[in-house]
Chains A and B, each alone.
Chain A
Amino acid sequence: MLHPEKMTKILMVGSKERLNDVIDVLYSSENVHPIDFSPEEEGFTLGTPLPSASEASQKLLKLRAAEKDLDIKGEKVKGKVETSRIYSEIDQTLVTISTELAGAVESKNALQGKAHELESQRKLLEPFKALPIDLELYRGYQRLAVITGSVRSDPEAQLNQALKNYEFFKSSDGRFVALFVAKEEAAEAQRILVQSGFTEIQVPPGSGSPEQAIKNIDEELATLSKKLDEANERLVKLREQHETFILASTEELSIQVDKAEFPLRIGSTAHAFVIDAWVPTDGVEDLMKRVQEKVGDKVAVEVLEAMPRREHIHPEEASAGSSEAHVQEIAPSKVQQKKPVGFFSYLTKLISTPKYGEIDPSYVLAITFPLFFGLMVGDIGYGIPFIILGAIGLRKCKTPEWRTIATMLFFGGIWATLFGFFLFGEAFGMHFSPQWLPTTVSHTTYPYGNELSWSSMLQTNLPQIGIISKLGNVKLFLYITIWIGIIHLLLGFGIGLYNETIRHGIRHAFFHKVGWIFILLGGACLLPWILNLLILNVAVSYTDPLFLIGIGLLLAGIVIAYIGEGGPAILELPGLMSNVVSYTRLAAIGMSKAGMALAFNLIAIEMIAPAGGIAIFAGMLVFMAGHLMIFILAVISAGIHGIRLHYVELFQKFFSGGGLAFNPLKIVRKYTSER
């Protein structure tokens, strides 16, 4: 159950006449992962597509072109089209669509082209609007040069000094100038203009006043845009009319093309075909029955071997002492867990697909990830909204990313609520604990002091709920999380031991995992001793049995790991320690949440609200905004750190990944139905 499903390799051989039927069976069983044929095998060549492929491909090409022209996205389509209708109508519809569409698209393109042209003309005319000179007056002179363009500063004074025969015009803002000058003085005029930051603008063709020309263009543009709207409307109408049918027939024809091209993945001779495939061992019988029903005895199905989990080792390699496993063939991993573990498999896939011979880590993830998330949040006030949000998300969200986040919120929220109530006794950063009054009860009775609590908020003395306080029992909380880390890592090494035993045998597993388990256990024995020595400043004894056992386990573990993995194992020792310390983030993030909540509560309730009046409202606003911020930060930090502890610390102890995902032949229909 924890492993990917057991796989069996099968071989199907038959006459090519039956190939079509066999392909139908393979697709309908949805349980066959074909092995791509390698043409090196003697006497066989790759198959050729079935004849139906080319006709369907041609139609598909036309449909896809129409889809693009009509900008079909398929977001609003409801209802399904029957495949029988598609086949009876497709030829007729394709003709209609292509004629109507061609006209509409062509006229739209022509209109758009014309509009672009007019706009560029208008742009050219625009600067000339500023001068009261008709366009034809700018050209056709024998002894005059005409210079037009924009300037940065006014050149009039310099021109006046240097030129004799000229006439000068400038626009009212002084940015655009036109100079009519005798040809022999043109070079000098150019020089002066360049000094004023001159850029030449060519006189556009045409005649009459530029202002009038622009007006004409604007009118033309207005009619064009009306026509363009009409053309677009026609396209929209066409889209509405044909969208469903186009999408449905694209889907159906794609399925046909896929099926017809399947022979490209298998081997064939002149008259026969041969298919190698993986089938889940449980599904072999069903597949054989289906084949028997469809084609009788005409196609031979042979079970080659049930794939063992143990990875093959070539005898000569094994005798040469090589411990590297040589994998002969990779069986695909079919990991399809039931809810709720299935919700977490996306997180595993983000790293890698599990190998055929290893335990799917989604199971561990499904248990400890929400647990860690809950421990880091640890507050009823956030836990319950998380549960609600998660439940809504699981109901509404469709994409795997959002479903995963909703799953995390839902299950994490449940744990956050449980921890928040039973362990921390906290909601919105405030404890459920009796109010401590200096005059009546001593500080030792109520360790949380007279801090802001729900008792002071509700003006009643609530009973003490919760065992530890995130901010009050810091050392204890850190200590607990270190033990959580040790247990979690032991779990990881345990699974690793099991995986290695399954995949490579007990000897390999012992030297690769047991050493590390000893080291971790030794470290765990030494932990209280080290704490006493370094942090609690308690006298320690070197004959303490726990200390001696710890040192013994540590040394034995190092020796085993050294034999198994060589020198690098010793270099990895500090890594293991940092892995354990890394789990203190569970406490650190919980504390940072509690600290922020405490700060917002103090600001809102003790600093702002007591002023009364509008300040009560302001206090509520600060309270809500602050807790909303913590709430959002909790998703990000608790989520990321929770998953990180699994990815980085836990998975490295047992998960190798890199498996081949089970990818069976199957048909997914969204817009069509078969009957």
Chain B
Amino acid sequence: MAIETGLIAIGAGIAVGLTGLGSAWAEKDIGSAAVGAMAEDEKNFGKGLILTVIPETIVIFGLVMAILLWTKMV
């Protein structure tokens, strides 16, 4: 296996790993606040879910990048 291939693999890993951490970091605060709001009033579930998953787009971008990198590898 060429060094380039390995570097691409590492790059793909970093892309998905760091964006995952980023999403998680953002979601943890929103999620706990959303659970708090839901405890007050269950009607907030829908809004809570929407707000909680908004940062998830970051990791989806990371995943897409990783996949595109991976297609360059094989």
A interface residues (Cβ-Cβ under 8 A, vs B): 350-352, 474-475, 478, 535, 578, 581-582, 584-585, 588, 591, 640, 643-644, 647-648
Contact A581 B50 (CB under 8 A): no
- B33 interface residue per 8 A CB criterion: no
Contact A581 B45 (CB under 8 A): no
Contacts A591-B67, A648-B53 supplied; 10 other A-B pairs, CB < 8 Å = A350-B49, A351-B47, A351-B50, A474-B70, A475-B68, A478-B64, A578-B57, A581-B57, A581-B61, A644-B56
Contact A648 B68 (CB under 8 A): no
Contact B60 A585 (CB under 8 A): yes
Distance A485 CA – B46 CA, assembled complex (angstroms): 22
Contact A588 B46 (CB under 8 A): no
B interface residues (Cβ-Cβ under 8 A, vs A): 45-47, 49-50, 53-54, 56-57, 60-61, 63-64, 67-68, 70-71
Of A350, A578, A644, which contacts B53 at CB under 8 A? A644
Chain B residues lying within 8 Å of A474, measured Cβ to Cβ, are 67, 70-71
- Closest 8 interchain pairs by CB? A351-B46, A350-B46, A588-B63, A644-B53, A647-B50, A585-B60, A584-B64, A648-B50
Chain B residues lying within 8 Å of A535, measured Cβ to Cβ, are 68
Contact B70 A352 (CB under 8 A): no
**A474-B71, A644-B49 known; A581 and B54 CB under 8 Å?**
no
Distance A588 CA – B68 CA, assembled complex (angstroms): 11
Q: Which residue on chain B has the smallest CB distance to residue A583? A: B60
Contact B46 A352 (CB under 8 A): yes
Chain B residues lying within 8 Å of A581, measured Cβ to Cβ, are 57, 60-61, 64
Chain B residues lying within 8 Å of A352, measured Cβ to Cβ, are 46
Q: Is chain B's interface secondary structure helix, strand, loop, or mixed overall?
A: helix
Q: Which residue on chain A has the smallest CB distance to residue B68? A: A535
Contact A647 B60 (CB under 8 A): no
Contact A350 B45 (CB under 8 A): yes
Distance A640 CA – B50 CA, assembled complex (angstroms): 11
Q: Which residue on chain B has the smallest CB distance to residue A350? A: B46
Distance A647 CA – B60 CA, assembled complex (angstroms): 17
> Smallest distance from the beta carbon of A439 to chain B beta carbons, Å?
24
> Smallest distance from the beta carbon of A376 to chain B beta carbons, Å?
13
Contact B57 A582 (CB under 8 A): yes
Q: Which residue on chain A has the smallest CB distance to residue B70? A: A474
> Smallest distance from the beta carbon of A95 to chain B beta carbons, Å?
41
> Smallest distance from the beta carbon of A670 to chain B beta carbons, Å?
23
A–B Cβ pairs within 8 angstroms, 21 of them:
A351-B47, A474-B67, A474-B70, A474-B71, A535-B68, A578-B57, A581-B57, A581-B60, A581-B61, A581-B64, A584-B60, A584-B63, A585-B60, A588-B64, A588-B67, A640-B53, A643-B49, A644-B50, A647-B46, A648-B50, A648-B54
Distance A535 CA – B50 CA, assembled complex (angstroms): 32
Distance A647 CA – B67 CA, assembled complex (angstroms): 26
Distance A584 CA – B67 CA, assembled complex (angstroms): 11
> Smallest distance from the beta carbon of B30 to chain A beta carbons, Å?
13
Q: Which residue on chain A has the smallest CB distance to residue B63? A: A588
Contact B53 A588 (CB under 8 A): no
Q: Which residue on chain A has the smallest CB distance to residue B56? A: A644
Chain B residues lying within 8 Å of A475, measured Cβ to Cβ, are 68, 71
Chain B residues lying within 8 Å of A640, measured Cβ to Cβ, are 53
Q: Which residue on chain B has the smallest CB distance to residue A482? A: B64
Chain A residues lying within 8 Å of B63, measured Cβ to Cβ, are 584-585, 588
Chain B residues lying within 8 Å of A584, measured Cβ to Cβ, are 60, 63-64
Distance A474 CA – B67 CA, assembled complex (angstroms): 8
Distance A648 CA – B50 CA, assembled complex (angstroms): 6
> Smallest distance from the beta carbon of A510 to chain B beta carbons, Å?
28
Contact B60 A582 (CB under 8 A): yes
Contact B54 A588 (CB under 8 A): no
Chain A residues lying within 8 Å of B47, measured Cβ to Cβ, are 351
Distance A478 CA – B69 CA, assembled complex (angstroms): 13
Chain B residues lying within 8 Å of A648, measured Cβ to Cβ, are 50, 53-54
> Smallest distance from the beta carbon of A660 to chain B beta carbons, Å?
14
> Smallest distance from the beta carbon of A484 to chain B beta carbons, Å?
14
Q: Which residue on chain A has the smallest CB distance to residue B42? A: A350
Contact B71 A647 (CB under 8 A): no
Contact B61 A647 (CB under 8 A): no
Chain A residues lying within 8 Å of B61, measured Cβ to Cβ, are 578, 581
